[in-house]
């Protein structure tokens, strides 16, 4: 069993709850209200700015030129493919680029991105990947599951979101991280593997909390 298969099994109950979340189901059946989606896209945009920095950090920590170059491609894909989706949605929803970029991170957004940055700055490349992997992997899974629903990809609002996250272009980003993590864990001790699992579970939990935040549109209360 590959190490990432083990991680997948460990996080499965959390990911399943994420898939079943009213927000995700609302994207799938088109019932999600626009105000919630708009809140999500703005928070997600500023989250992705911080997330993209982790790919730059991955490039810094990379052991060889090929790995360095792949992290640079992942950085480019986040800034110019994934975040372009957000910019296009913002335009359609009447949100300017400046407004999008200057979104104040809500508590969950800030906690999630700060946790990833902290773990990745202090830790090894394997720890960095354990922190960022649920983000890339779980959205690919969600996209592919939602895409199987008849008509979901053709929905006038949410169709493009599903189309993007189910795409091969997006899912191959996670595949590459999965392969690299499996290589990096060779020879690691049980304690080190457990630490990687803890990080992976924590960011999986944050993924769930992000759906919750978007559903409730929860902001700072003080
Ligand atoms: C919170 C979150 N998690 C994951 C993804 C997919 N990169 C995202 N855009 N936002």
Pick from 2-11, 54-63, 90-99: least confident: 90-99
**Does any ligand 1 atom lie closer than 6 A to the CB of residue 161?**
no
> Can you tell me whether residue 203 is helix, strand or coil?
helix
Residue 166 burial (CB < 10 Å; 0-12/13-18/19+)?
buried
For residues 131 and 203, the answer to whether their CB atoms sit within 8 Å is yes
Q: Is the pTM of this model over 0.90?
A: yes
Ligand 1 center–CA 62 separation, angstroms:
23
Tens-place pLDDT, residues 121-148: 999 999 999 999 999 999 999 999 999 9
**Rounded mean pLDDT of 13-29?**
98
Query: What CATH number did the domain enclosing 87 receive?
Result: 1.20.910.10
Is 221 part of a structural domain of the chain? no
Count of structural domains, the chain: 1
Q: Is residue 222 part of a domain?
A: no
List pLDDT tens digits, range 25-44: 999 999 999 999 999 999 99
Q: Which domain holds residue 172?
A: 3-216
Q: Computed over its alpha carbons, how large is the radius of gyration of the chain?
A: 17
In a domain, residue 142? The reply is yes
Residue 164 lies in a domain: yes
pLDDT band at residue 20, thresholds of 50, 70 and 90?
A: very high
**Ligand 1 pocket check for 48: Cβ under 6 Å:** yes
Which residues of the chain form beta strands (DSSP E)? none
Is 153's C-beta closer than 6 angstroms to any atom of ligand 1?
no
Question: How much distance in Å is there from the Cα of 135 to the middle of ligand 1?
Answer: 5
């Amino acid at each position: 069993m590959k190490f990432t298969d083990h991680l997948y099994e460990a996080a499965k109950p959390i990911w399943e709850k994420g898939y079943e979340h009213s927000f995700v189901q609302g994207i799938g059946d088109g019932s999600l209200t626009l105000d919630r989606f708009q809140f999500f896209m703005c928070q997600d945009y500023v989250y992705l700015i911080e997330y993209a920095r982790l790919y730059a950090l991955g490039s810094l920590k990379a052991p060889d030129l090929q790995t360095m170059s792949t992290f640079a491609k992942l950085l480019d894909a986040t800034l110019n493919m994934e975040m372009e989706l957000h910019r296009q949605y913002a335009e359609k929803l009447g949100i300017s680029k400046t407004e999008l970029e200057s979104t104040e991170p809500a508590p969950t957004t800030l906690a999630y991105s700060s946790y990833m940055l902290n773990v990745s700055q202090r830790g090894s490349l394997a720890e960095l990947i354990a922190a960022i992997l649920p983000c890339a992997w779980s959205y690919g899974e969600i996209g592919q599951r939602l895409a199987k629903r008849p008509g979901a990809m053709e929905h006038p609002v949410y169709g493009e979101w599903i189309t993007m996250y189910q795409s091969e272009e997006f899912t191959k980003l996670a595949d590459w991280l999965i392969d690299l993590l499996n290589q990096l864990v060779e020879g690691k001790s049980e304690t080190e593997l457990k630490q990687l699992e803890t990080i992976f579970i924590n960011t999986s939990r944050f993924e769930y909390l992000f759906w919750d935040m978007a559903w409730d549109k929860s902001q700072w209360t003080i």
